[in-house]
């Protein structure tokens, strides 16, 4: 399968368009350097002038690859397999460096020329990468490969202004419930979980001062918070209705959860103590299994006040930097295909349990039998694919959660006071797009 896909792509003429650009904690940076613009234009010219069949790969070169630390060794193995399957590329070497998906965009836009040639990143960083000219559009046969192989949510996450800019590699960046089934016998409601934890003297963890986890309550009530971007990745409008009756209900639910004696703010199983329930992601499955042992269990998010909690669904993507050398660009693009195809996604799942975005990989027996991924898959029916958000949004959401944790906002706050808090939050979110 790998060889077939790569052979097809190697035979295709590169069709490239104009290149225009989070972990939730990085700030927006929409300033592209003159050097980046020139490099992008040179890339396009080289691609237009040099059909794939006429490219000279014999000069080789080094390709810098940024991936998460826990897949560095895996990526080295895949690079070796990629070169073995493509002997025409044997003159190229790879330098594989551990750079987390949450740091990639910040590093790339700071120094595009010195950044990686192929890099992994979280989907909420895409707009700033496009704006900075740090990522190539995915066009022609490459685009067809992306759109036909991956689930719709991951393809949408890889798209800005109607153009695909990245290669999806996971659809597992979402959250659900891990719990100790000897303590929590009814994981279907927040109320039942919190009461069980209170009675057992155990802790219930959820990170309410995170804009990522907060949306579980607001989106569950039917609230909206999205941003529009233009073709260059700039934020042009904010669509938000938090300052509403449903927003007040969501905010009060967060306050009510925080009022339980069992409540602990956090989302890391590795850092949890005396825990019986935690809202977390697939990346902590091993830690949850170790802590809960035979009582390990997973479920979709519970309801609260009779309403199903929702939240974000996120994705990991691979980007390719613009290149002046058309031959090097072709190798980078084919490498991105290799690292994101069905076989590699399945191998990566077996190695580090990352949940695939590839449709066929998702249907494999091994993936379907995974308890954490099954819980996530059930939850994804209620989640909103995470789009692009300004860095300031995440800071603002942290401040809102901190006010609940320190008691500035609480269950005793009036609806009028909560509405005032939400109106300020909403107005501030809107200001980030002006």
Q: Are 40 and 137 in contact (CB under 8 A)?
A: no
What is the C-alpha to C-alpha distance for residues 342 and 148, in angstroms, rounded to an integer? 12
Q: What is the pTM of this model?
A: 0.72
Give 83-104 pLDDT, tens digit per residue. 999 999 999 999 999 998 878 8
225 has which bridge partners? Answer: 240
Tell me the CA distances in angstroms from 147 to 12, 167, 370, 431, one per residue in order. 17, 9, 25, 34
Task: Pick left, alpha or beta for residue 346 (phi over 0 → left; psi -120 to 50 → alpha; otherwise beta).
Answer: alpha
The pLDDT value recorded for residue 52 is 62
Domains 2-172+314-368 and 183-310+390-431 share a fold: yes
Instruction: Please identify, in words, the CATH class of the domain defined by 2-172+314-368.
Output: alpha beta
Instruction: Please identify, in words, the CATH class of the domain defined by 183-310+390-431.
Output: alpha beta
pLDDT by residue for the chain (434 residues), tens digit each? 433 333 333 333 333 332 323 333 333 333 333 444 444 444 444 444 445 668 999 999 999 999 999 899 999 999 999 999 999 999 999 999 999 887 888 899 999 999 999 999 999 889 889 989 999 999 999 999 999 999 888 998 999 989 999 999 999 888 999 999 999 999 999 999 999 999 999 999 999 999 999 999 999 999 999 999 887 778 999 999 999 999 999 999 999 999 999 999 999 999 999 999 999 998 899 899 999 999 999 999 999 999 999 998 889 999 999 999 999 999 999 999 999 999 999 999 999 889 999 999 999 999 999 999 999 988 978 988 888 888 899 999 999 999 999 999 999 999 999 999 999 999 999 999 97
Q: Which residues contact 316 (CB under 8 A, 6 or more apart)?
A: 101, 120, 121, 122, 123, 168, 169, 170, 172, 173, 354
Q: Are 94 and 79 in contact (CB under 8 A)?
A: yes
The domain ranges of the chain are 2-172+314-368, 183-310+390-431
Give 355-385 pLDDT, tens digit per residue. 999 999 999 999 999 999 999 988 978 988 8
The pLDDT value recorded for residue 409 is 97
CA 299 to chain CA centroid, Å, is 21
Tell me the CA distances in angstroms from 119 to 122, 281, 386, one per residue in order. 10, 22, 20
The H-or-E segment that residue 254 falls in is helix 245-259
Q: What's the CA angle centered on 9, arms 8 and 12, to 5 degrees? A: 90
What is the C-alpha to C-alpha distance for residues 17 and 5, in angstroms, rounded to an integer? 22
Q: Are 165 and 40 in contact (CB under 8 A)?
A: no
67 has which bridge partners? Answer: 98
The pLDDT value recorded for residue 380 is 79
User: Sign of the C-alpha dihedral, residues 136, 140, 142, 148?
Assistant: positive
What is the C-alpha to C-alpha distance for residues 32 and 133, in angstroms, rounded to an integer? 6
The pLDDT value recorded for residue 352 is 87
**Residue 109, both tokens:** 């836009």
**Residue 44, both tokens:** 């396009």
């Amino acid at each position: 399968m790998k060889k077939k896909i790569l052979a097809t792509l190697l035979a295709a003429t590169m069709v490239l368009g104009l290149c225009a650009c989070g972990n939730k904690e990085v700030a927006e940076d929409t300033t592209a350097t003159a050097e980046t613009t020139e490099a992008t234009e040179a890339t396009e010219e080289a691609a237009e002038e040099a059909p794939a069949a006429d490219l000279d790969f014999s000069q080789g070169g080094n390709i810098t690859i940024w991936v998460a630390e826990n897949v560095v060794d895996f990526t080295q193995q895949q690079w070796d397999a990629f070169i073995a399957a493509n002997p025409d590329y044997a003159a190229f070497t790879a330098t594989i460096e551990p750079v987390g998906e949450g740091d990639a965009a910040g590093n790339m836009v700071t120094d595009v020329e010195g950044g990686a040639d192929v890099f992994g990143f979280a989907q909420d960083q895409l707009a700033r990468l496009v704006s900075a000219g740090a990522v190539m559009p995915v066009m022609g046969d490459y685009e067809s490969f992306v759109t036909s192989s991956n689930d719709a949510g991951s393809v949408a996450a890889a798209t800005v202004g109607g153009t695909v800019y990245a290669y999806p590699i996971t659809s597992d960046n979402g959250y659900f419930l891990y719990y100790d089934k000897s303590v929590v016998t009814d994981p279907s409601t927040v109320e039942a979980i919190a009461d069980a934890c209170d009675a057992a003297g155990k802790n219930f963890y959820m990170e309410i001062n995170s804009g990522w986890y907060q949306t579980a309550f607001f989106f569950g009530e039917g609230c909206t918070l999205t941003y529009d971007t233009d073709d260059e990745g700039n934020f042009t409008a904010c669509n938000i209705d938090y300052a509403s009756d449903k927003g007040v209900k969501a905010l009060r639910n967060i306050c009510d959860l925080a009022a339980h004696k069992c409540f602990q703010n956090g989302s890391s199983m590795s850092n949890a103590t005396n825990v019986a329930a935690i809202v977390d992601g697939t990346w902590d499955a091993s830690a949850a299994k170790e802590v809960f042992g035979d009582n390990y269990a997973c479920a979709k998010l519970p309801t609260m006040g009779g309403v199903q909690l929702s939240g974000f669904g996120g994705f990991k993507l691979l980007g390719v930097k613009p290149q002046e050398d058309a031959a090097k660009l072709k190798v980078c693009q084919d490498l991105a295909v290799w690292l994101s195809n069905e076989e590699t996604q399945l191998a990566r799942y077996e190695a580090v349990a990352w949940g695939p975005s590839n449709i066929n990989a998702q249907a494999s027996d091994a993936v379907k039998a995974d308890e954490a991924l099954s819980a996530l898959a059930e939850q994804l029916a209620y989640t909103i694919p995470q789009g692009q958000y300004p860095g300031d949004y995440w800071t603002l959401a942290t401040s809102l959660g901190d006010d609940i944790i320190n008691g500035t906002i609480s269950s005793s706050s009036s609806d009028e006071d909560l509405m005032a808090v939400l109106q300020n939050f909403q107005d501030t979110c809107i200001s980030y797009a002006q």
